[in-house]
């Protein structure tokens, strides 16, 4: 079949895979190829067991795969034939050298840019899909357009706002799509080419265009604001616990103020995921770099509160459980960083398990989707941790249960059965405020949650 356009995505991860599957589904006359250097990941994308769990993803991939959606490890072949190249490689926090622990590690991005330059035989639009420090497009522009073949590359920024767990819904019906392009004639043409892709299904008034620097910075700012709300309500949750105020009541009432709004005001064990922490640290690093240390420390405090909130949980258990957890079996309900994903990157459950081990407790982890990932993350302490697919089995003989992920399954467990199998007194800390605490108390549990005294 002759395709109208050939789109390549470099990086078949949580963003590249679902985003390209959606574009392929909505644009059947475009050929979409997703490439990755990780052969196991590509093999999984080509198999019935996709490499990531995301509600609705299987159906979208099944409709398009083999028709106009292809997964491959042949990066060069993909570059050669593409008109538009999305770059969706990982941009983790740097762990070495200058900026270690804060700046973005851009080595994967730069390698990709150099490969595109080396292999290309004609002009291309290169789209930044990865989350990047503001002004990265300048570096990309510099590298790509230093080629000696006379080929012109246009850089467009198109950050991704999907949330894991609702990625397909977010891609299908986005609040907005952001496309940043240079304000030159060729920059506008390139920007329009990317607009044209999304215009297949996204209403025109939701496709926003800005200059490239605004687009790059908007993504970091959006994540910083979202995380800031979580840290704000979590900081108040601690005060509620000390004073007898109820954080859910406080959140509900402030959320009725239309200037504040009611979303993202749920107190919890803290935020996780691969993005919030790394993007805020990157933002803070940029502020420092541009001579704004006060702004840097303001944003850094959002991460500090989150870490403090995560560490507070085992402290509360200790206090309630007679100041010792040593040798006690503790059931950890949920290891994914949130419900409806198998992703465990920066999961608060990880902090909880490490804190439990520091107290010489015996954690038993259960999670409906993230057991493999949990075992991978805890590879260095596997002999000290147990795993069970069955929450009843995990709780059997435990002194306490701590709910770390808001999986719907946990709400509907037979909590009488859980209670009956536990040591007494049976403690429960609901780190996500998802359970009916008065029902649990009536069963006999000694219950704590977040933000209620």
Ligand X SMILES: NC(=O)c1ccc[n+]([C@@H]2O[C@H](COP(=O)([O-])OP(=O)(O)OC[C@H]3O[C@@H](n4cnc5c(N)ncnc54)[C@H](O)[C@@H]3O)[C@@H](O)[C@H]2O)c1
Active site residues: 275
Check: CB of residue 9 under 8 Å from CB of residue 86: yes
Smallest separation (angstroms) from ligand X to the CB of 223: 8
Residue 99 backbone class (left: φ over 0; alpha: ψ -120 to 50; beta: rest): left
Q: List the one residue from 11, 78, 334, 451 that touches ligand X (CB under 6 A).
A: 11
Looking only at residues 237 through 296 of this chain, which bind ligand X when binding is defined by CB under 6 A? 274-275
Q: Is 145 in the site for ligand X (CB under 6 A)?
A: no
Check: CB of residue 20 under 8 Å from CB of residue 9: yes
Question: Distances from the Cα of 322 to the Cαs of 169, 297, 326, 403, 437, in angstroms?
Answer: 45, 37, 11, 20, 21
Q: List the one residue from 7, 8, 9, 16 that touches ligand X (CB under 6 A).
A: 16
Distance CA 184, CA 181 (A): 8
Q: Contact region for ligand X (CB under 6 A) — 35-43, 146-154, 301-309, 373-381?
A: 35-43
HSE toward the beta carbon, residue 163, CA cutoff 13 A: 18
Size of the site for ligand X (CB under 6 A): 27
DSSP 426: P
Q: List the one residue from 9, 14, 53, 431 that touches ligand X (CB under 6 A).
A: 14
- The 10 Å Cβ neighbour count of residue 237 is 26
Q: List the one residue from 33, 68, 120, 131 that touches ligand X (CB under 6 A).
A: 131
Smallest separation (angstroms) from ligand X to the CB of 34: 9
Check: CB of residue 218 under 8 Å from CB of residue 224: no
Q: List the one residue from 38, 100, 173, 184 that touches ligand X (CB under 6 A).
A: 38
Q: Is 164 in the site for ligand X (CB under 6 A)?
A: yes
Smallest separation (angstroms) from ligand X to the CB of 206: 17
Looking only at residues 383 through 412 of this chain, which bind ligand X when binding is defined by CB under 6 A? none
Distance CA 208, CA 428 (A): 46
Looking only at residues 185 through 214 of this chain, which bind ligand X when binding is defined by CB under 6 A? none
SS3 113: helix
Those residues with Cβ within 8 angstroms of residue 11's Cβ, 6 or more apart along the chain or in another chain: 34, 36, 87, 88, 89, 90, 112, 129, 130
Q: Is 342 in the site for ligand X (CB under 6 A)?
A: no
**Residue among 11 and 368 whose Cβ is closer to ligand X:** 11
Smallest separation (angstroms) from ligand X to the CB of 246: 31
Interface ranges with ligand X (CB under 6 A): 10-16, 35-38, 41, 75, 88-91, 108, 111-112, 130-131, 160, 162, 164, 274-275
């Amino acid at each position: 079949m002759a395709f109208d356009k050939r789109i390549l995505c470099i990086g078949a991860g949580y963003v590249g895979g679902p985003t390209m599957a959606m574009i392929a589904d909505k644009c059947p006359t475009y050929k979409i190829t997703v490439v990755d250097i990780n052969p196991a990941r590509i093999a999984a994308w080509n198999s019935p067991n996709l490499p990531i769990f995301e509600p609705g993803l299987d159906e979208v991939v099944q409709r398009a795969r083999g028709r106009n959606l292809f997964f491959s490890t042949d990066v060069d072949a993909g570059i050669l034939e593409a008109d538009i190249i999305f770059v969706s490689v990982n941009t983790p926090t740097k762990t070495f050298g200058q900026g270690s622990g804060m700046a973005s590690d851009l080595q994967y991005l730069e390698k990709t840019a150099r490969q595109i330059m080396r292999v290309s035989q004609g002009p291309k639009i290169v789209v930044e899909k990865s989350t990047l420090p503001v002004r990265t497009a300048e570096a990309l522009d510099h590298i790509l357009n230093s080629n000696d073949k006379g080929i012109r590359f246009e850089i467009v920024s198109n950050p991704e706002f999907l949330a894991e767990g609702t990625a397909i819904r977010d891609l299908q019906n986005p609040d907005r799509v952001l496309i940043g392009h240079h304000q030159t004639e060729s920059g506008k043409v390139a920007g329009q080419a990317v607009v044209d892709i999304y215009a297949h299904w996204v209403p025109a008034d939701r496709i926003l265009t800005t200059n490239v620097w605004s687009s790059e910075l908007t993504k970091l700012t959006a994540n910083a604001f979202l995380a800031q709300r979580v840290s704000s309500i979590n900081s108040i949750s601690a005060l509620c616990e000390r004073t007898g105020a109820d954080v859910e009541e406080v959140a509900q009432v402030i959320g009725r103020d239309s200037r504040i709004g009611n979303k993202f005001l749920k107190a919890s064990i803290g935020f996780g995921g691969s993005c919030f922490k790394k993007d805020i640290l990157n933002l803070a690093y940029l502020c420092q770099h541009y001579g704004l240390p006060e702004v840097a420390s303001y944003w850094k405090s959002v991460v500090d509160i989150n870490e403090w909130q995560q560490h507070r949980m085992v402290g509360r258990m200790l206090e309630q459980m007679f100041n010792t957890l040593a040798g006690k079996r503790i059931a950890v309900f949920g290891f994914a960083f949130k419900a409806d994903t198998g992703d465990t990157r920066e999961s608060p459950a990880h902090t909880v398990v490490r804190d439990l081990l520091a107290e010489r407790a015996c954690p038993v982890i259960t999670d409906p989707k993230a057991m493999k990932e949990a075992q991978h993350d805890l590879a260095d302490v596997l002999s000290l941790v147990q795993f069970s697919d069955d929450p009843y089995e995990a709780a059997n003989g435990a002194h306490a249960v701590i709910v770390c992920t808001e999986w719907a399954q946990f709400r509907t467990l037979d909590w009488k059965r859980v209670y009956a199998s536990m040591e007494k007194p049976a403690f429960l800390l609901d780190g996500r405020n998802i359970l009916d605490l008065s029902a649990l108390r009536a069963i006999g549990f000694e219950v704590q949650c977040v933000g209620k005294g």
